[in-house]
Structure 1
């Protein structure tokens, strides 16, 4: 092993993910390496303070990961090129689509020896609908193929096997390329403590951005149906209503805000108090997830879950002879979602039992320390 400190450059499309999803990994990386981040503007001072306390060098940009802007993207490419020339990284770690596509292309051009792009889910571009804008989808797939091909130094990281096989099937990558599958972003089990769920006052919680493919409408409709029969049951929703190509309709958002079906909480910095006060965590997503972080957080805190039998989501549910931790329901199937919600309402002991099983499953498969150990091996910096 080379004991020399390496220069590691991380590129992302949202500053809040640096600590929420990569915080523990960054803590491991800075022990033996010089770490820099290339991120959209950091709006939360606590994020900046934490990165600075770790001696991470911060470089900011104006990238918008959710919208299409040729001018903005070209500006991003030039900024990244200049930054790579300045910092001369030994390892380049981009994650999410735009940093992966543009970053990997620039890193190859700059002859960085170790490039480790991580695809944290394939999003809209590989769903059956093909996304709302077929031209954007086609261009994205072409650019992804161009960015990932060739170069022995590229090690592609996936968060589930479905995404790997999807890119193989579509010809974007081939079997000769180096590819690795890790168990999502992991979850810090010391941060998300177990607590026994309340089974006397049952409540369901969904944590998600307010976009269609996350299943917001399905959750709302299921809650409306359940509450017509069990008016005492509570349904809560955490998440921001952002400018996004797939944001829910204003009409639905208005219903969420003003009728009494859901308690809308908005965006929060710490989900733990809300998970602690919830009985079951729900995510009826068909977005094209890596492994949904909110489900891992719920499992870590001992919450039974309901999610969709879709890419990434299905990774979080197990059903063995020794027990299970939750349910998978078909995509966009409100009736099935309602049935599983009613199961928990009528079988409250399983709320506790499935939650205990979920915590155990998280320890065995999704512990952030296990995931990060794999990441360090792939980067060859541990």
Structure 2
């Protein structure tokens, strides 16, 4: 059967996400389509080399995704308009907030026939922890409602059902919107091989950017409590400390680096060796995740998990008690998080059992090939 080859433009807010989160999808799309990418500057040679090797055309910009910068955003919008007018893609696929909001508005203006934005979690913008909305949250909601207004050329993709229902409740989406839900970004089960955890020394691992909403403080406080009871237990943290409006404060960062409670490893290129050396993967996030990739990676490699009973995170824990793969804890609840971590220390057999169940759950629900099959069908308009 002859395939109608199309021009696809992908827009993201971080070059790091291109291969780690979308690499397999890009490989799938490039088979039958011409793929271009609009990304913030690529500062890692391995990413640039791989994209060149794949045959992807790359256009770079200076977008600052986590900061408010009117001049930067206006420049991004202007350059995107010029790019869309120049290449006239058949399909425009933006993901994450700024590319979605600005990208959809500009793509509609440019008359792009198929616009398929994906919201990989709602982040801070729909957190009502203190029941007050910041000015940025209010502006984001207004812009999102304007950009996602239903039209014949718009199909919106979500990574969990809660995000879809949240936008419907907020009257940002209506029954007229065509919306689809996929199981996160998926995980490459051939890349993240199962391995049996070494239980001689129990080791907890958290992989996250060092921002408050990821639960960094809660993990640190729990580790501090448990370290007094079980000095032999190890606590590790992987993730960058960079310029972000919600970055942890300098005092907490200094403690993490120097007081010996947690072994801080910074940003690493390959998390697999560290997951292999861990017993349990932890993410007490209340950020507003799509489906957290680090938990999927841990599950794929056979690790028991602890994560929050919050949007996106709760998708990763099997609700079947017979196939349990981890625990859900209330957000910002150090006592509950500590108790679940201590459970694993005292019940080491469950670390193995939960890990095996997690691998099976990843195979059943989060296999990247299954997720990408659905993604390609949505982008091509076959469903």
User: Which residue in the other structure is 1:129 paired with?
Assistant: 129
Tell me the matched-pair count: 382
- Structure-2 separation of matches of 1:132 and 1:240: 29
Task: Kindly state the Cα deviation for residue 153 of structure 1 after the two structures are TM-superposed.
Answer: 1.1
Partner residue, 2:277: 277
Query: 1:101, 1:144 within 8 Å by CA — same for their partners in 2?
Result: yes
CA contact (8 A) 1:214 1:283 kept: yes
Match status 1:288 vs 2:291 = no
Q: How high is the TM-score relative to the length of structure 2?
A: 0.98
Secondary structure, counterpart of 1:77 in structure 2: helix
Give distance in 1, aligned partners of 2:279 and 2:88.
49
Q: Which runs of 5+ in 2 are unaligned?
A: none
Contact 1:130 1:137 in 2 (8 A): no
1:252 and 2:277 aligned: no
Q: Which residue of 2 aligns with 1:364?
A: 364
Partner of 1:94: 94
Please name the residue that 2:109 is paired with. 109
Q: CA deviation at 1:113?
A: 1.0
Ranges in structure 1 where 5+ consecutive residues have no aligned partner: none
Counterpart position of 1:42? 42
Aligned to 1:303: 303
Question: Deviations along 1:289-311, whole A, 9 cap, x unmatched?
Answer: 00000000000000000001000
CA contact (8 A) 1:305 1:326 kept: yes
**Structure 1 residues 130 and 101, CA gap change in structure 2 (3 angstroms):** farther
Tell me the SS of whatever aligns to 2:205: strand
Judge conservation of contact 2:303–2:352 (CA < 8 Å) in 1: yes
1:64 aligns to what? 64
- 1:151 is matched with 151
In 2: Cα distance, 1:88 partner to 1:191 partner: 35
CA distance in 2, matches of 1:300, 1:353: 14
Relative to structure 1, the CA distance from residue 2 to residue 105 in structure 2 (aligned partners, 3 Å threshold; closer, same or farther) is farther
> In structure 1, how many angstroms separate the alpha carbons of the residues matched to 2:321 and 2:230?
31
TM-score, scaled to structure 1: 0.98
Q: Is the partner of 2:55 in helix, strand or coil?
A: coil
User: Could you tell me which residue of structure 2 aligns to residue 195 of structure 1?
Assistant: 195
SS in 1 for 2:8: strand
1:175 Cα deviation from its structure 2 partner: 1.5
Could you list the per-position Cα deviations for residues 266-318 of structure 1 after superposition, in whole angstroms to 9, with x for gaps in the alignment? Answer: 00010000000000000000000000000000000000000010000000001
Q: Over the residues paired in the alignment, what is the CA RMSD in angstroms?
A: 1.3
In the TM superposition, 1:221-370 aligns within 5 A as 221-370=221-370
SS of 1:5's partner is coil
Aligned partner of 2:30 in structure 1 is 30
Distance 1:131 1:11, change over 3 A: farther
The offset of 1:133, in angstroms, is 7.0
Deviation at 1:130, TM superposition (A): 6.8
